[in-house]
Structure 1
Amino acid sequence: MLATIPNLTDLLTRNPATLKAHGLHGETVAAILAWQQQDEANAVIQAVRQILLNCERHEIELVSWQHPHYPEALRHIHDAPLVLYARGDSGLLSREQIGVIGSRNATPAGLDHARRFAAELSKRGLLITSGLALGVDGAAHAGALDAGYATIAVIGCGLDRIYPNQHRRLGERVIGGGLMISEYPPGTPARAAHFPQRNRIISGLSRGILVVEAGLKSGSLITARMALEQGREVFAIPGSIHSPVARGCHDLIKQGARLVDQVDDILEELGASWSLPAGFTAQEPGDTEPKAERPAVRATDALDSREIAVFEALGYDPQSTDALCSATGLPADQLVQSLLLLELEGLVSSAPGGFQKIA
C-alpha cells in the first residue's frame, strides 16, 4: 500500500482513516498524528528529534528516498532502506560501484589481491564498495585510498562509532576521502544481526560483487547470493585447492560465478552496460595523479617520522622484529614502541612470524 504514495512525507498530512487504510501500525499512526499536533511529549517524536540532534553533532547527512543522491539501483532491491545516514561525499552514491568482499581471516595473498584489484578497478573508473570488516574488506578500502581514489564503506552500526575498532583510522580515511554509510541512526551499536542486513546494501549499490577469499560458511557467500537475487554479477578469484578460504570461491565458480584473475575479466563481463563516469579519466600506467577524485587521506597523515619509517618498512607478509630493526635502523625498544602505536592506530597487526600491514 505504501508504494502508492509518491512521496513518503505526504503521509504526514494524511488523516487517521487514510493512514490506517495504508496498512500502517497503530504506533506509526499515533506518531504521525502526534507530529501533526506538535505533541513534543510523544516518545517517537522525542526519539526522532534526538536522532536529528546526533546527526547534526556528528556531521551526518540524511539521504532519504527523496534526496537527489539516493542511489537508483538501491530503490529496486527487496527491503530497500528508507533512509541512509552518510558521512563524507554522498554524491558518490550515484557512481558505478563494485563490491569487494571476502574473509575476515584472509591470507597475505588474499589481502594483496584485494588491494591490487581495488586499486586497478578504481583506476578504471569503478568505485570500490565494501563493509570495513577486518581482512579483505579493509584491504579493498585501503587499496582504493592508497591509489588516490574514493571508496564507500557500509557499516552495521551508527556512524558516530567505527566498527571494528581496529579500523578506526581506516574508517576516518574513508570518510575523509570517500563515504561511509549506514541504515542505522547514530548511537546504534554493532550487532550480529546487522551485518547480513548491511550486506544487502553493499550488493544493492554495486553492479557486481567480487569475492576475493571465502570459506564455505562465510558471510561473503550470503552477500553473493543476495547479489544474484538482485540481478548483479558475481565474480570470484580462485585459490589453492588446499586453502579453506578458497573453497567458498570455488563453490561460487561451480555455481556459475565468473572466474577472474585480472581486472579485464570483470570489465569484459560488465560489457557495454558499464561506462566511465562523466568527467573521469582513467590513469595510464605509471601515472600517479588520480583523476576526478577528492584527495585521499593517507594512512600516515597522523604519524611521526619514526612511525612512518616503520610503517613503510612493513609489507603484507609478516616480518620479524630483527628484520625491521635492520630495515629501519631503529633499536629494538624504539621499534617495539612504534609497532605498538601503529597497532593502536589500526594500521598493523601481529602475526605468526612478526608484524604486517593491515591498512
Structure 2
Amino acid sequence: MSQSTAAAISPAELEARLRLHGLPGLGPMRFQRLLQAFGGAARALSAPAAAWQSLGMPAVCADARRSAEVREGAGRALAWIDGPGRHLLMWDQPGYPALLAQLQDAPPLLFVAGDPAILEWPQLALVGSRRASKPGLDTATAFSRSLAEAGFVITSGLALGIDGAAHRAALDVGGRTVGVLGTGLENCYPQRHRDLARAMIDQGSALVSEFSLDTGPRPEHFPRRNRIISGLSLGVLVVEASVASGSLITARLAAEQGREVYAIPGSIHHPGARGCHQLIRDGAVLVESVHHILETLQGWQRLPPAVEPMASSAHPLLALLQAAPHSSEALALASGWPLPRVLSSLTELEIDGRAANENGRWFARLS
C-alpha cells in the first residue's frame, strides 16, 4: 500500500472511502458531509437510507451503496494503488496538497501517478488554447522553461496546444510538471499525449485526477478539472485564449480562490488574444516577461528549486555584480543568458538577500 494512503485509516475505511467515491451523483461536498455526519465512510455505508435522505443525499446514491459495480470499482482502485509510483491522497490525511485543501470543494480523493511530493512544491499554472498559434506555443515554451528554471512546478491540463507545450518545456530544462486530467488515470486523454504522460512520470513529475481510474472524457468533467489546476497553484498564467476558452474558466476559478491571475496580451486582430485582453480588463496582471510574475510572488516561502542552483561563490551574475552594478539588460549581454533567465536568477538572488535593485540597476549585497 502506498505511503500516501496515510496509515491513520484502516484498510476497511480505505475501501469504504473508495466505495463512496464511486457512487453516482455524490460529489466532493456530499462526500465530506457524509464523513462529518457519520464519523467515517464505513459508518456512512452502513447507515440506514433514511439517514442519508435526511442529509439531502440523492436516492440513487443510497441505492448504489451495496452494488457489485461499486464494490468492484473499489477493488480495482485498491489493486492500482498497490502498484509502483501510484498513490491516493485524501483531503483529511497527511500528504494532501495544502493549497488544494483550502478549497471548499476540494477533491476528497486524489489519484496520483508519479511523485506526489511535488504537489507541495510552489506551482504555477500555465494554460491556453488547444489550437494555439506558433507564436503562442513559442511563448508558452519560453515562459514554462524560465519559470521551471526559477524553481516552480509547472501545472497544466495535459491538453493539446498550450498545455502540452508547457509540460514539455518544463521537462526539457529538468524541471517538474503536474498534469491534471479530466479523465481517470487509466484513460489518458488526449491519446496523442500518452508518451508525454509517460515521460512526465518517468522524469519525476506527476499526473493527478479526482476521477475513478477508468473514467472517460466527459464535457462536464473538464471545468471540474480546472478548479484543481488553479487550486494547486500560486497563480495562473493564460498565454493565448479565445473569449470562449476553458482557460478563462480556470482564470475565473483562480480569482475566486484568491490566486494570482496573469495574462499575456497579443494583437487586437488575433482572436486567440481576445480572452487574454478580457482578463486584463477584468484585473489580471498584464505580463510581458517572467519578471512580471516573479515580482508578485516574492513573499512566498519557496522550496528548493527543481533545477539545482549554483553555489553562491560561483554564480555568474553575482560575480558580475561584485565587479560593478548592472542593469538587467547589461547582465544578459555580459553573461550570454536570455533575459528571462537573468530576471529569474536576479529575483532569486534578491529573495536570498544577495542582490538588490536600485533605480533599475542591480548591486551585489555584501554578506
Using structure 2 for the length normalisation, give the TM-score.
0.68
CA deviation after TM superposition for structure 1 residue 181, in Å: 0.6
Give the conservation status (yes or no) of the 8 Å contact 2:151–2:305.
no
Give the conservation status (yes or no) of the 8 Å contact 1:7–1:66.
no
Structure 1: give runs of 5+ residues left out of the alignment.
35-40, 288-359
Which residue matches 2:124?
98
Quote the Cα distance in structure 2 between the aligned partners of 1:8 and 1:203. 31
Give the conservation status (yes or no) of the 8 Å contact 1:98–1:206.
yes
Residue 42 (structure 2) pairs with residue 12 (structure 1) = yes
Of 183, 199, 202 in structure 1, the residue corresponding to residue 229 of structure 2 is: 202
Residue 298 (structure 2) pairs with residue 276 (structure 1) = no
CA deviation after TM superposition for structure 1 residue 59, in Å: 5.4
Quote the Cα distance in structure 2 between the aligned partners of 1:42 and 1:131. 32
Residue 252 (structure 2) pairs with residue 252 (structure 1) = no
Amino acid at match of 2:146: E
Which residue matches 1:135?
161
Distance change in 2, residues 1:18/1:11 (3 Å) = farther
Give the conservation status (yes or no) of the 8 Å contact 1:55–1:186.
no
Residue 140 (structure 2) pairs with residue 110 (structure 1) = no
CA deviation after TM superposition for structure 1 residue 75, in Å: 1.8
Of 164, 167, 172 in structure 1, the residue corresponding to residue 193 of structure 2 is: 167
Quote the Cα distance in structure 2 between the aligned partners of 1:253 and 1:279. 29
Quote the Cα distance in structure 2 between the aligned partners of 1:181 and 1:85. 6
Give the conservation status (yes or no) of the 8 Å contact 2:170–2:176.
yes
Distance change in 2, residues 1:219/1:8 (3 Å) = farther
Give the conservation status (yes or no) of the 8 Å contact 1:97–1:207.
yes
SS class of match (1:269): coil
Which residue matches 2:254?
227
CA deviation after TM superposition for structure 1 residue 245, in Å: 0.7
SS class of match (2:164): helix
SS class of match (1:234): strand
Quote the Cα distance in structure 2 between the aligned partners of 1:3 and 1:184. 19
Of 76, 83, 88 in structure 1, the residue corresponding to residue 102 of structure 2 is: 76
CA deviation after TM superposition for structure 1 residue 200, in Å: 0.8
Amino acid at match of 1:246: A
Of 192, 200, 217 in structure 2, the residue corresponding to residue 190 of structure 1 is: 217
Quote the Cα distance in structure 1 between the aligned partners of 2:68 and 2:34. 28
Give the conservation status (yes or no) of the 8 Å contact 1:98–1:207.
yes
Q: Which deviations, in whole Å up to 9, do the C-alpha atoms of 1:289-322 show, x marking residues without a partner?
A: xxxxxxxxxxxxxxxxxxxxxxxxxxxxxxxxxx
Of 170, 179, 191 in structure 2, the residue corresponding to residue 144 of structure 1 is: 170
Amino acid at match of 1:13: R
CA deviation after TM superposition for structure 1 residue 58, in Å: 8.1
CA deviation after TM superposition for structure 1 residue 172, in Å: 0.9
Of 65, 69, 91 in structure 2, the residue corresponding to residue 65 of structure 1 is: 91
SS class of match (2:271): coil
Give the conservation status (yes or no) of the 8 Å contact 1:124–1:283.
no
SS class of match (2:272): coil
Quote the Cα distance in structure 1 between the aligned partners of 2:144 and 2:104. 27
Q: Which deviations, in whole Å up to 9, do the C-alpha atoms of 1:317-354 show, x marking residues without a partner?
A: xxxxxxxxxxxxxxxxxxxxxxxxxxxxxxxxxxxxxx
Quote the Cα distance in structure 2 between the aligned partners of 1:90 and 1:7. 29
Give the conservation status (yes or no) of the 8 Å contact 2:227–2:254.
yes
Distance change in 2, residues 1:7/1:112 (3 Å) = farther
Q: How many residues align?
A: 279
Q: CA RMSD in A?
A: 2.8
Of 54, 58, 78 in structure 2, the residue corresponding to residue 52 of structure 1 is: 78
Quote the Cα distance in structure 1 between the aligned partners of 2:34 and 2:208. 27
Which residue matches 2:357?
none
Give the conservation status (yes or no) of the 8 Å contact 1:120–1:263.
yes
Structure 2: give runs of 5+ residues left out of the alignment.
1-29, 316-367
SS class of match (1:210): strand
Which residue matches 1:344?
none
Which residue matches 1:353?
none
CA deviation after TM superposition for structure 1 residue 280, in Å: 6.3
Quote the Cα distance in structure 1 between the aligned partners of 2:38 and 2:177. 30
Of 293, 305, 315 in structure 2, the residue corresponding to residue 266 of structure 1 is: 293
SS class of match (1:61): strand
Give the conservation status (yes or no) of the 8 Å contact 2:176–2:306.
no
Give the conservation status (yes or no) of the 8 Å contact 2:148–2:306.
no
Percent sequence identity over aligned pairs: 44
